[in-house]
Amino acid sequence: MKESASASDPDAKSAMLEDFHSHLLKSRRIVALLGAGLSASSGLPTFRGAGGLWRTHDATSIATPQAFAADPAFVWQFYSYRRHMALNAKPNAAHYALAQLAKSTTKFLALSQNVDGLSQRAHHPPSKLKLLHGNLFDLKCSDAKCGYREPNNTTDPVVPILAIPQSGQDPTATATATEPNTNPLIRGLDISNPNHTLPSIPTASLPHCPQCRKSLLRPGVVWFGESLPTDVLADVDAFFSADEPIDLMLVVGTSSAVYPAAGYTQVARNKGARVAVVNPDPGSGRALDGKRDWFFCGDAAEILPEMLRPLVGDVRGVIDEKGDAD
């Protein structure tokens, strides 16, 4: 593995970046695998690894059909919190760098495991962004036979009773603050804090399907135990199975622990790709080829814009003070 970009030797860091830039400028087909670490600088938690809990629950145990069937109010509170957080976050420089790369490179595809909508808000071209795990802001009927879907619902809260409590006197809540909320993304009590009592929400007050009028709506994300969307997989497979080689694969902010996304790196290698990993965890570079690959250790929002600068320029020039692209 090439020396990490977090190394103390500035000459080594510069040489590695120069080597990467040389290959980047020669690359014609590029694929990127994006994980939750891409949005970490925007203030959104990854819910994986150390600290991956929501209240006292492993967040991955909440994201299941079984959890929704057993306690839909609790699952909706978790997702309403995530929707609220994502809507109050802003895309960071890494989101904009990838969006600019997609605009400037004809044969580029980003495979995103993120559901937060930040890549879309950075104006990443939809045809070059494949959402492997769905979208927090898409809603669908929990009864698959009904088939109702509602794309891009950004109402916050999705129904009034899921509003983030503002105080212990909120008439819809029983939450009591025990310490001040310091998270700028949360306007109200931080209900992820287990010291705050969650409001009691009757199932009848949760969002219901307007089509069948009997089943609950659920977030349009892929839960554990569910299949990835077939149309998305078909588009991804078409990119990988094309006769042309793949020159470069970017792996940004993900441990590549969840399949099938985790297998795409090897598929890209089999098509000739060199791999560049961007991750704050030093262990994320262990599986890289020491002669061909690069490992850039650190914050994607700081590192990725510099990595992609030869093709995208200075992305700060396309971000206004509100965090939106011109």
Q: Which of 42-46, 130-134, 143-147, 225-229 has the lowest mean pLDDT?
A: 42-46
| Cα–Cα distance, 32 to 116 (Å, whole number) | 17
Catalytic machinery residues: 133
Q: Is the pLDDT of residue 83 over 80?
A: yes
pLDDT of residue 171: 36
pLDDT in tens, 85-116: 999 999 999 999 999 999 999 999 999 999 99
Band of pLDDT at residue 11, cut at 50, 70 and 90: confident
212 is in an annotated binding site: yes
pLDDT of residue 168: 44
- Displacement of CA 218 from its chain's centroid (Å): 19
Residue 302's CB is within 10 A of a number of other CB atoms, namely 14
Fill in the amino acid letter for 37: G
Tokens of 229: 């969307």
209 is in an annotated binding site: yes
Q: Are 6 and 297 in contact (CB under 8 A)?
A: yes
297 is in an annotated binding site: no
pLDDT in tens, 161-175: 999 887 544 333 344
pLDDT of residue 58: 81
Annotate the chain with three-state secondary structure: CCCCCCCCCHHHHHHHHHHHHHHHHHCCEEEEEECHHHHHHHCCCCCCCCCCEECCEEHHHHCCHHHHHHCHHHHHHHHHHHHHHHHHCCCCHHHHHHHHHHHHCCEEEEEECCCCCHHHHCCCCHHHEEECCEEEEEEEECCCCCCCEECCCCCCCCCHHHCCCCCCCCCCCCCCCCCCCCCCCCCCCCCCCCCCCCCCCCHHHCCECCCCCCCEEEEEECCCCCCCCHHHHHHHHHHHHCCCCCCEEEEECCCCCCCCHHHHHHHHHHCCCEEEEEECCHHHHCCCCCCCCEEEECCHHHHHHHHHHHHHCCHHHHECCCCCEC
Residue with the bigger pLDDT between 206 and 285: it is 206
pLDDT of residue 257: 61
pLDDT of residue 172: 37
Q: Report the predicted TM-score, pTM, of the whole model to 2 decimal places.
A: 0.89
